[in-house]
Amino acid sequence: MPRARTSHQYDRQTAVAQEDAGGCLSFYILPPFAVVLIACLLTALALKAPIQTSALPIVQPMSPATSLSPIFTREVQHWGNDILRWATAAALDPNLVATVMQIESCGDPRAFSRAGAMGLFQVMPFHFRFGENGFDPETNALRGVNYLAQSLQTANGDGRLALAGYNGGIGVITRGEWTWHAETQRYVKYGAPIYEDARNGSLSSAALNEWYEKYGVSLCGQAHQRLGLP
């Protein structure tokens, strides 16, 4: 028969049992602790890992125009590649730039008005810097297109008002149209629908045809000859 345990034996076995119980308790605590540890390690690795850009949304920029509208006359089309380049540099629609060239000079780089306006974009002499050749196409375009960009910005992107500002001075944009000079009103009367037709992808423009018959025959004929077009 089993012998009765002494008090000393009982205390020792109780202590061992408590140590065993503590061991079992550690066994049940270990798995959650390991999960937390692994999660921390994975998080650290994730922070160091390179970002996979292929998973990010890609915003595609608007494609720039690659050609002018076909409504413009041959003399203006002659400058097509240059117009695209000048417009891109100034962040403008090339068809707006072409509309201005169409009405101002019909593409004649030597055009000269009674008021003293010069070249492709009929830039007034005071817009040029000292020593610049106002008839040089690059210089003329730089000054003219930049002024058009300022006009468009003042007009908050309104092409019609930008055309008015280009012809009558940027100050007219904020004034009532009834105060505009007759020349500016005529400029907008033809320029705005010409630009709209070009921008909308039309193959012809009644406004441009009317402008040509009333004002453009001589101007474009001179440009045609100056450019040596067949």
- Give residue 108's identity as a one-letter amino acid code: D
Written as six digits, the tokens of 128 are 């040029």
117 in helix, strand or coil?
coil
Q: How far is CA 147 from CA 45, 92, 151, 175, in A?
A: 55, 11, 6, 18
CA distance 71 to 221: 17
Q: Catalytic annotation on 75?
A: no
| CB contact at 8 A, 80 and 68 | yes
Written as six digits, the tokens of 126 are 């005071």
Q: Among 104, 132, 183, 210, which one carries the catalytic annotation?
A: 104
The closest of 9, 176, 193 to 103, measured between CA atoms, is 193
Q: Cβ–Cβ contacts within 10 Å for residue 132, how many? A: 15
- Taken in order 105, 201, 174, 97, the sign of the CA dihedral is negative
DSSP letter at 49 equals S
The closest of 96, 95, 82, 102 to 220, measured between CA atoms, is 102
Supply the residues annotated as catalytic: 104
